[in-house]
Structure 1
Amino acid sequence: MAAVWANMRNVNYKCQFSSLTRLLSTSSPAKDSNESWLSKLLVRRIEPTKESHSRLLSDKEIIYELQTHNVRPDCLKEYIKNCSQSSQLIHSLDLNVELVGSWSVQVGDLDQALHLWRYRGGYGSIDKAKKQLSQNEDFISLQLERGKLLRSRHLQFLLAFSYWPSIVSRPGNNIYEIRSYSLKPGTMIEWGNNWARAINYRRNNDEPFAGLFSQIGRLYNVHHIWCYKDLHSRKETRESAWRSPGWDECVAYTVPLIREMHSRILEPTTFSPTQ
């Protein structure tokens, strides 16, 4: 009798597995896609290519440098003064580099400052600038002074996503949000493919400021910088995106690519080109 019950259980399990297999293979395709709904939960395979990921994702010979400084809490005022003087000095030299934005963190990693620089002419411009600055006594003095004001610092070289709107300085009083993502290795192209569609749901607003991905430093890092009038407008803009058909699909495709993410609210410094 026990053997009969065991056989019946095996048959039942096989039937259930067969039904599940048919369900997965015959599920209706997602909107504007030939793949099943299950594909939204999986990271799709990236085909081999002879092109580097950076060349496929970015078509500009422009390199961005993102400096992240963790400042001693009692030295913030002195630190801002030092950075302003350094910025003025660099811009007075023929280095083919310009400050894009400078911010202090208001929500997130407090006592932190971010500075985004743009080099035109590729890594050759970076080599030239670093060499000249290393021989400039005024710059060296400012750097030594700044070192006493910091707890730690980090530097990344980045490229801009080709589908992201060009960086344009904002006038007036704004806040910024930098949303930083650590992606699973090998998923950068898929991230770019999905965000090339997703950015269209946010392009009608003035909020997209910069979309960047790392080349040197912490790899498979993505930074999206958004501009808002205040926290309330940020809330309304983000809620509006969720009401746009297709935004939810883009989120569903990109979430499985992320290993870690965090958000920081930024306030421009007094010397920041974008306000």
Structure 2
Amino acid sequence: MSPFTCVLTLPSVFFLQGVSLFVRKVDPRKDAHSHLLTKNEESNLYKIQFHNVKPECLDAYNQLCEETLPSIHNDKYYPCELVGTWNTWYGEQDQAVHMWRYRGGYPALTEVMSKLRQNKEFMKYREERGKMLLSRRNQLLLEFSFWNEPIPRKGPNIYELRSYQLRPGTMIEWGNYWARAIGYRQHNSEAVGGFFSQIGNLYMVHHLWAYKDLEAREATRNAAWQHEGWDEVVYYTVPLIQHMDSRIMIPMKASPLQ
């Protein structure tokens, strides 16, 4: 059982004056975590894809993606949007990361998958892509209510995807703390999006950040420690984490997030 109290809806808990985020008890609940953590019941569904590419095929893979993915993104026939597409710079090498948004949730995802199976160009893309990959995996995600929705931005930027494997049962606590913490990390518009898994690795959280360069990243992260309360958030959230990973990513030419 989680050691922190969660009131009826997280958005009201986070911003009500005088409500403590550090209560040491949780009452039994019948609500799904996803209902408490997301903006509303019709929240967007996201898919994140990790493709490990054969090193000798990376350039050809990138070109194939740049020729195919924007056509799906721009076609209103498909109720989905390409949020961003990147190559990992620091982290797992020869890797591509794609993020899609489905407005309308699972029905939109089902509709897109059904329509794409009838798209001969896309099926050819999948066939060619498969020859270039060593492995691939994906997750379905929902967005936290207290993060901004990812929107296209001009570059050049580098992006950091910080992924946290939480201890089971601690997602509400994480949300409580980060609803407060995000206020310390928006001064330079570095906060892009925050997500938690629904299918795939469970109790997985992804925070996506944008920086001008690695020096700006270091300066921005150091500046957070000057805000009163940031150290407390870090102190209480670290014990919730089982494993964490950081990727520095470079946008592909076709990425709406540049």
Answer whether TM exceeds 0.5 for this pair: yes
SS in 1 for 2:39: coil
Question: What's the counterpart of residue 13 of structure 1?
Answer: none
1:124 aligns to 2:107 (yes or no):
yes
User: Structure 2: which amino acid aligns with 1:142?
Assistant: Y
Give the distance between the partners of 1:161 and 1:34, measured in 2 at CA.
17
- In 2, the alpha carbon distance for the partners of 1:219 and 1:83 equals 28
Is 1:66 the counterpart of 2:45 in the alignment? no
- Counting matched residue pairs gives 237
Match of 1:97 in 2: 80
Task: Indicate the SS of the match to 2:129.
Answer: helix
- Which consecutive residues of structure 1, in runs of 5 or more, have no partner in the other structure? 1-31
Structure 2 residue aligned with 1:16: none
SS at match of 2:163: strand
Which has the larger share of helix? 1
Question: What is the CA–CA distance in structure 2 between the aligned matches of 1:195 and 1:106, rounded to whole Å?
Answer: 27
- Code of the residue aligned with 1:124 in structure 2: it is P
Partner of 1:248: 231
Whether the 8 Å CA contact 2:21–2:177 is kept in 1: the answer is: no
Aligned-residue CA RMSD (Å): 1.6
1:114 to 89, 97, 122: 97
Amino acid at match of 2:44: I
1:169 to 143, 152, 166: 152
Which structure is larger by alpha-carbon Rg, 1 or 2? 1
Percent identity over the alignment is 51
Runs (4+) off by over 6 Å: 32-35
**24, 27, 31: which is aligned to 1:47?**
27
2:200 is matched with which residue? 217
**Mapped pair 1:142 → 2:125:** yes
| Deviations 1:54-85, CA, capped at 9 Å, x for gaps | 01000242000101100110001110111122
Distance 1:132 1:47 in 2: 44
Q: Return the alpha-carbon distance in structure 1 between the equivalents of residues 247 and 37 of structure 2.
A: 25
1:33 shift after superposition: 6.2
Is the contact between residue 103 and residue 115 of structure 1 (CA under 8 Å) also seen in structure 2? yes
Distance of 1:255 and 1:45 partners within structure 2: 18
Does structure 1 retain, via aligned residues, the 8 Å contact 2:70–2:254?
Answer: no
Amino acid at match of 1:58: T
Offset of residue 89 of structure 1: 3.3
- With 129-138 and 146-155 compared, the bigger mean Cα shift is at 129-138
TM-score under structure 1 length normalisation = 0.83
The code of the aligned residue for 2:115 comes to Q
Q: 2:61 corresponds to which residue?
A: 79
TM-score by length of 2: 0.88
SS of the equivalent of 1:50 reads coil
